Amino acid sequence: QQPVQSPQAVILREGEDAVINCSSSKALYSVHWYRQKHGEAPVFLMILLKGGEQKGHEKISASFNEKKQQSSLYLTASQLSYSGTYFCGTRGTGNQFYFGTGTSLTVIP
Amino acid sequence: NAGVTQTPKFQVLKTGQSMTLQCAQDMNHEYMSWYRQDPGMGLRLIHYSVGAGITDQGEVPNGYNVSRSTTEDFPLRLLSAAPSQTSVYFCASSPWLERFAKNIQYFGAGTRLSVL
């Protein structure tokens, strides 16, 4: 039930934009996004609860399409501090909470 | 406010040895879980608990045991360590909200385990 993320890795220059996708084979009730800096624990970024809803965090926003069972994370005008691994997360059929396969984002000067 | 505390931070075991990874939270969260993180595989759920006395299996439970005797503590036991259990282990907790889908996960700093 683990969501699949794409791409697996991306390298950006400062100021460039990126999109990270998260898709599930199961129905999505909500989607969480987390960021993990190297050597640290994942930290919550945002949650999306409704289809088509968009949320924002700094210059990071996300969308959620229930029908397509997909969510996308948009990073605009990337900064060095955006580097890290991004995970989507969602509830399983019971009380499990599953995280995606992760996307490594590296922003270079 | 300490949040979620994991001990130890690092551990090296020999194949066949047993050990317990400790996890404690001081936020009075009902929901706690254990994940392992391996390169290219993201975070995979091992076991979880929705409250004291209640535990259940996640995606990769084999080789691990858990118990939840108090709200605060959720230890993970490796009965007979194997090299395949070399990984980084994260404990997470979450409040049990009426709508589970809104439960934000709070993570401990992780335990880096090597099994030789």
- Statement: residue B39 has pLDDT above 80: yes
Between the two ends of chain B, the Cα-to-Cα distance in Å is: 36
Q: How far apart are the first and last CA of chain A?
A: 37
Contacts of A62 (CB under 8 A, 6+ apart): A31, A33, A46, A48, A54, A55, A71, A72, A73, A74
| pLDDT, tens digit, 9 for 90 and up, residues B56-110 | 999 999 999 999 999 999 999 999 999 999 999 999 999 876 565 567 899 999 9
If pLDDT is split at 50, 70 and 90, which confidence band does A2 have? confident
Tell me what the pLDDT averaged over chain A comes to.
Answer: 88
Report the side by side order of strands in the sheet with B64-66.
B4-7, B19-25, B76-78, B64-66
* Residue B80 C-alpha, separation from nearest chain A C-alpha, in angstroms: 25
Instruction: Tell me the C-alpha distance between A90 and B25, whole Å.
Output: 22
Q: Name the closest residue on chain B to residue A46, using Cα atoms.
A: B104
Does the distance separating the beta carbons of B58 and A99 come in below 8 Å?
no
The larger pLDDT score, comparing residue B40 to residue A31, is at: A31
| pLDDT of A52 over the 70 cut | no
Residue A74 and residue A96: Cα distance in Å, rounded? 26
Model confidence at A5: pLDDT above 90 = yes
| Residue B3 predicted with pLDDT over 60 | yes
Distances in whole angstroms, Cα of residue A77 to Cα of each of A82, A104, A107: 10, 17, 10
- Report yes or no: B96 at the A interface, CB cutoff 8 Å: no
Rounded distance between C-alpha atoms, residue A24 and residue A3, angstroms: 5
Average pLDDT, rounded, for chain B:
92
pLDDT tens, residue by residue, A25-44: 887 778 899 999 999 999 99
